Structure 1
Amino acid sequence: MSLRNTLASATALSLVMGAGAFAEEITVATVNNADMIVMQELAPQWEEATGNTINWVVLEENVLRQRTTQDISTNGGSFDIMFIGAYETPIWGANGWLEPLNDFADDESYDLDDIFQLVRNGLSDTDGNLYAVPLYSETSFTYYRTDVFDEKGIAVPEGQPTYEEFKEMAAAAHDPDNGIYGTCQRGKAGWGENMAFVGTMANAFGARWFDMEWQPQLDSQEWNNAITYYVDLMQNYGPPGSSSNGHNENRALFKDGKCATWVDATSAATDVKNPDTSSVADVTDFFKAPQQVTDKGTGWFWSWALAIPASSQKKDVAKDFLKWATSKEYFELVGETKGWVAVPSGTRQSVEEDPRRLEAAPFAATIVDAILSVDPADPTAEPVPYTGVQFVAIPEFQGIGNYVGQQVAAALAGQQSVEEALANSQQFAVREMTKAGYIK
C-alpha cells in the first residue's frame, strides 16, 4: 500500500466523526520510549484528517504508572487514553475502570484477528472482554556485540546459555578502560523496571514469588542465589551507577557502544538495529535470555497498549485514535516514513510476514517465535497459583513488586546486604498478602 493510500485509509477511519462535528482535544498519557515518540511525530496526520487534537503527557515509565494508577483508581478523568500494559489491563478492566473494546472485532478494516491471539488474550479479562489494543509486544532476549565477541574470542552460544556461562561472557568482554562494560542490566527500582529483568532471572534460578498457598517465597535460597548472582554480576562487570539505570538508560548505553551484552526487551531491536539511531546497528546480534536450573520463565511477556479510561468524556474520539494508531495502516505509515526496521514489533501477523519488514529486519521472525513461546500460565520450575512471567497478575503485586525492586536496588548500590534486602522483602510481602486476605 502506498503512503497516499495509507493517508486515505487514515482519513476513512476517521469518518465516524461526521461532517461538521465539533473538534475535540484528547489527552494521552504515554511513556517516553522510541515507539511512542514516533507515534507523536506521526499523530498530526490523524489530527489533520479528523480536526481533533492531542494533548500528550509524556512521562518516565515509573512515573507514568504512578500517575495513571492514581487517576484511574480515583475516577480522576485526567486522561482520555493511557498507555498501559499486560499487567494492568485485565485487572483494571475487571474493576470497570476501562472502556471495553469488543466492538473493534466488528470493524473488518481494523482486523482484530490479525493481532496475535496471545497478545489479545493478555489484554483481555478471563471472560474474553478486550480492554486495550497493542502497539507492540515483546519478550526478552540477549543483545550482544559481535565485534567485541570476535575481538575477545568469546564463543556465541548455539542455544540457550546458563547465567553462569553468561557471566563468563560478560567478564571476558568487560573492558572499562576502553569504555565497554561487560553487561548492562536494569537496576532502577520498579516492578516494571529492575524487577522485569530480576523476576525472569529469579525464575531461571528456580525461584517463585509465592507457593501454592500464596505464602511469599522471597527469603528462599533460590531468591538468594539469584540476587547474589545479580549483584555480583553488575558490581563487577556493569557500568557505574547501575542502580539508577532502567530500560531507556541501558538502551542508550548499548546504542552508544558502551555495553557488550544486554538482556532486555525484543521490542528494542527495531531501535538498536536501526543505523539512523544506533552506532552498533551493524554489529549487534541476539541469543536467548539465559537459563540456569530451569528454562521456564526466562523470557518475559509484555505488551504496551492503548486503553480508554471509563472516566473519559470523549470515548468516541479516543476509539477513533486507537483504531488509527494500532491499525495495519499505521504500521504501514511507520514503515514508509521511518523505515520498516522501525515498525513496532510482535503485534500483527500481517506486518511480521510482510516482505518489506523481513528484508529490513531479518531478526523479526526470531522475535515473533520468542514471543509466542512464552507461557504466562507456566512460568516457574515449581507450581504457582498465579499467571504472569515477570509479574504476578494480582492487584497487590504492584506494591509488592515496587518494594522488592527498591530493596534489590539498594543491595546493588551496596547500601545493604542481599540477605537484608530479601528479609525486608519477605516481611513486606507477608504483611501485604495477609492484609489482602490471601494468607489466612
Structure 2
Amino acid sequence: MRIGLGALLGAVSLIAVPALAQTKLTIATVNNGDMIRMQGMTSDFTAKNPGITVEWVTLEENVLRQRVTTDIATKGGQFDVLTIGTYEVPIWAKQNWLVPLDGLGANYDVDDLLPAIRSGISEGGKLYAAPFYGESSFVMYRKDLMEKAGLQMPKEPTWDFIADAAKKMTNTADGTYGICLRGKAGWGENMAFLTAMANSFGARWFNEKWEPEFNGPEWKKTLTFYSQMMKESGPPGASSNGFNENLALFNSGKCGMWIDATVAASFVTNPKESKVHDKVGFAIAPNAGLGKNAGWLWAWNLAVPAGSKKTEAAQKFISWATSKEYTQLVAAKEGWANVPPGTRKSLYANADYQKAAPFAELTAGAINAADPINSTVKPKPYVGVQFAAIPEFQGIGTRVGQAFSGVLAGSTSIDEALASAQSITEREMKRAGYIK
C-alpha cells in the first residue's frame, strides 16, 4: 500500500506534537458538609481551567490537622492547597510556611471580606489564606420541644436556663436528649467548645504571666457544670461526639439543643438533611452573668504551602472556591440558604440570602461581636477566643482535651482531669520558655 508524502508528514506531525501539560492539584480538606459540597462543584473549576486537574484528600478534622501540620513542618510537599484554621494561618505565615496570596485576581475583592475574619488570616498586611467559610457559635434548639417543656428561649440565655431546659426536654423513653455538646478529644473539637464556655465562666488558659489556671475555681466550675449537664441530659457516648456526630444526632431528632458552630444552621434547616428542619430556632451563645458569652470565632481557610511547586494553579483554585461567583454557583444549584457563610459583607447585604437564611443576622452579629483580644472576663496575654494563638497550643490543647474527654467517658474525675491539665500545660510552657 502506497502512502502519499503529505499523509506521511501529517502522521509524523501528529506524533511529534506533545499533549497539553496537565497540572494536578492535591487538596487536603476536612469532611464537613460545605467542603463535601465544594468537591461536587469541582467540574465548574476544571471546565474554566482545562489545564488543571484536582485530587481531593478528605479527612476527619483531627486527622486533617495532624497530617497537614506534619507535612508542612517537614516540607513534605504532599499537598498544593491546605484547608487550615484561623489558629494556624498567622503562626505558619511567620514561619514562612505559607505563600502570600497575591495572585487571587483583580476581581477577587479582598475588601469585601468581613474584617473579623480577614484580620485573623493576615500577617504584616498580607493575606496568607482565603476564607472558605467563617463562623461563631450559637444555640440551635427545637422550638416544639421547648414549647412542650413550657419554656421560651430568652434573647440572651444563661447557662442555668440551658441546663434547666435540657433536663425538661430530655425524654430517654423516645431517645431524645436535652442537649448535645462536643466531647471528642481535640484542641479544635471539645476544647474549642470548652474554652469558649470557660470564657463565659470567667476562666482563661493563662494569666498575664503565662501561668496556666486549671487549678483555679473558674475552670472547675466550667468542667463541673458541663459534665453534670451532659450526665443528666446528654446522649450516651458523648465523649466520642464532635461536630459531625452531633449534627447527625440533631438532624435525626435526637437533640433538644445543640450549641456549636453557626455554620451548622444551613444543615439543620435543610429539608433534605434534617428531620426537624421546620422546628429549629436560634439564640446567641449562653452566658454566666459575667459579661461574656460562649461564642467563638473561626474560619476554615484555603492556603498554599511554601513547599508547593504549583502556586499559580493553587491560587486560581483558591480564588474560585472563595469568590462571590462560587457563592452564586452554590445558590443556583443548592439554594441561597446553603452557600458558605461568614466570610463576605456582600452576602449579608444580599436580600435573597436574608430571606432564605433565618439565621443570617444572628450569625453575622455573633461573628462581628467575637473579640480575639478581649474574650475573657480577666485580661489575658494571648490572642484567640477558643484557642491561644501560640505554636505550643496545638499539642497542649490536644492533651488537655483528652483529659477532659475522660471525664465524660467516666474514666477520670474532674479533679484528676484539672490536675492533669495544669501539670501538662505548666510543663510545656516552662519548656517553651514562657514561664521560669
For 1:223-234, list aligned pairs within 5 A. Answer: 223-234=219-230
> What is the aligned partner in structure 1 of residue 307 from structure 2?
311
1:135 counterpart SS class: strand
> What is the aligned partner in structure 1 of residue 159 from structure 2?
163
1:260 counterpart SS class: strand
For 1:67, the aligned partner's letter is: R
> What is the aligned partner in structure 2 of residue 95 from structure 1?
95
1:377 counterpart SS class: coil
> What is the aligned partner in structure 2 of residue 189 from structure 1?
185
The alpha-carbon deviation at position 296 of structure 1 amounts to 2.3
For residues 248 and 211 of structure 1, what CA distance do their matches in structure 2 show? 33
Unpaired segments ≥5 residues, structure 1: 1-19
Show CA shifts across 1:44-103 (max 9, x none): 121122121111000000000000000001111000001001000110011000000145
For residues 150 and 258 of structure 2, what CA distance do their matches in structure 1 show? 18
> What is the aligned partner in structure 2 of residue 82 from structure 1?
82
2:26 counterpart SS class: strand
For residues 370 and 38 of structure 1, what CA distance do their matches in structure 2 show? 24
| Corresponding residue to 1:204 among 188, 200, 205 | 200
> What is the aligned partner in structure 2 of residue 15 from structure 1?
none
For residues 324 and 215 of structure 1, what CA distance do their matches in structure 2 show? 44
**If you compute each CA radius of gyration, which structure gives the higher value, 1 or 2?**
2
2:383 counterpart SS class: coil
For 1:28, the aligned partner's letter is: I
Equivalent pair of 2:283/2:362 in contact (CA under 8 Å): no
> What is the aligned partner in structure 1 of residue 7 from structure 2?
none
> What is the aligned partner in structure 1 of residue 69 from structure 2?
69
2:255 counterpart SS class: coil
Equivalent pair of 2:195/2:386 in contact (CA under 8 Å): yes
1:182 counterpart SS class: strand
Equivalent pair of 2:141/2:257 in contact (CA under 8 Å): yes
Q: Is 1:124 the counterpart of 2:135 in the alignment?
A: no
Q: Is 1:374 the counterpart of 2:373 in the alignment?
A: no
Equivalent pair of 1:154/1:172 in contact (CA under 8 Å): no
Show CA shifts across 1:395-414 (max 9, x none): 01111110110000001111
The aligned length equals 417
For residues 75 and 434 of structure 1, what CA distance do their matches in structure 2 show? 28
> What is the aligned partner in structure 1 of residue 22 from structure 2?
23
Equivalent pair of 2:103/2:312 in contact (CA under 8 Å): no
Runs of at least 4 residues off by over 6 Å: none
Q: Is 1:59 the counterpart of 2:54 in the alignment?
A: no
Q: What is the identity percentage for the equivalent residue pairs of Structure 1 and Structure 2?
A: 49
> What is the aligned partner in structure 2 of residue 321 from structure 1?
317
The alpha-carbon deviation at position 278 of structure 1 amounts to 1.2
For residues 119 and 268 of structure 2, what CA distance do their matches in structure 1 show? 28
Equivalent pair of 1:297/1:380 in contact (CA under 8 Å): no
| Corresponding residue to 1:150 among 147, 152, 155 | 147
Show CA shifts across 1:346-394 (max 9, x none): 1111122212111111321221111101111101011110111100010
1:183 counterpart SS class: strand
For residues 261 and 274 of structure 2, what CA distance do their matches in structure 1 show? 16
> What is the aligned partner in structure 2 of residue 357 from structure 1?
353
Show CA shifts across 1:288-343 (max 9, x none): 11111423252000001100000001111000000100111000000000111101
RMSD over aligned Cα atoms: 1.1
2:72 counterpart SS class: helix
> What is the aligned partner in structure 2 of residue 108 from structure 1?
106
For residues 96 and 419 of structure 1, what CA distance do their matches in structure 2 show? 41
For 2:243, the aligned partner's letter is: H
The alpha-carbon deviation at position 27 of structure 1 amounts to 0.3
For residues 275 and 358 of structure 1, what CA distance do their matches in structure 2 show? 18
The alpha-carbon deviation at position 271 of structure 1 amounts to 1.1
For residues 310 and 224 of structure 1, what CA distance do their matches in structure 2 show? 42
> What is the aligned partner in structure 2 of residue 274 from structure 1?
270
